[in-house]
């Protein structure tokens, strides 16, 4: 696979431009303008006029979430929430299917907080929700755990707990 070449450029008075070409030859360009809006242009290979969409920062972030695939994973979904007032704090909430390897162990046994930094805030078992499970809570195969943390902590959880 060829590496995607991302070109970034600062246009005086306008803002910052990011542009890259896809493997198939289409071009995507994003401009963060000084007016605070974000413009996204796409230019199909062989065409001369790009089409453009102008977005507010919130809309752009939503588009980003869609593009990273965060929202639309069916039984394992994840939402990132950014709190711009709290020094741009970003919290991710992710749901995981509990594998057989973890079945029968408690949250305490797994040392989830110590090992990953993430916290299990709810478990869904047979369409019943157990909110804020105690450390002595015993997982069963087929449970869905809702985990909260920063994206790194979520990744750590995925690696350490659900994949063995």
Residues that bind other proteins (CB under 8 A): 9-14, 17, 19, 27, 29, 31, 33, 35, 37, 39, 41, 43, 49-50, 52, 54
Give the N- to C-terminal CA distance of the chain in Å, as an integer: 29
- Burial string for 146-163 (b: 16+ CB within 10 Å, else e) reads bbbbeeebbebbbeebbe
**Tokens 């991710």, residue located:** 92
- Residue closer to other proteins by CB (options 57, 135) is 57
Least distance CB 19 / other proteins (angstroms): 8
Count of other CB atoms within 10 angstroms of residue 105: 16
- Residue closer to other proteins by CB (options 9, 58) is 9
- Residue closer to other proteins by CB (options 32, 137) is 32
Least distance CB 137 / other proteins (angstroms): 44
Judge residue 132's burial from the number of C-beta atoms within 10 Å of its C-beta, 0-12 exposed, 13-18 middle, 19 or more buried. exposed
- Residue closer to other proteins by CB (options 7, 100) is 7
Q: How far apart are CA 50 and CA 48, in angstroms?
A: 6
């Amino acid at each position: 696979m060829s590496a995607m070449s991302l070109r970034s450029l600062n246009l005086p008075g306008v803002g910052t431009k990011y542009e890259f070409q896809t493997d198939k030859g289409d071009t995507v360009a994003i401009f963060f303008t000084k007016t605070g809006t974000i413009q996204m242009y796409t230019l199909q290979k062989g065409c001369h006029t790009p089409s453009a969409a102008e977005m507010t920062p919130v809309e752009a972030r939503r588009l980003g979430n869609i593009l990273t695939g965060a929202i639309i994973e069916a039984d394992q979904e994840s939402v990132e929430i950014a709190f711009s007032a709290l020094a741009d704090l970003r919290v991710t909430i992710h749901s995981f299917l509990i594998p057989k390897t973890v079945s029968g162990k408690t949250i305490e046994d797994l040392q989830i907080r110590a090992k990953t930094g993430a916290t299990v805030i709810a478990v869904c078992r047979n369409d019943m929700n157990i909110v804020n499970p105690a450390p002595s809570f015993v997982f069963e195969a087929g449970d869905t755990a809702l985990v909260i943390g920063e994206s790194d902590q979520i990744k750590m959880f995925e690696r350490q707990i659900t994949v063995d």
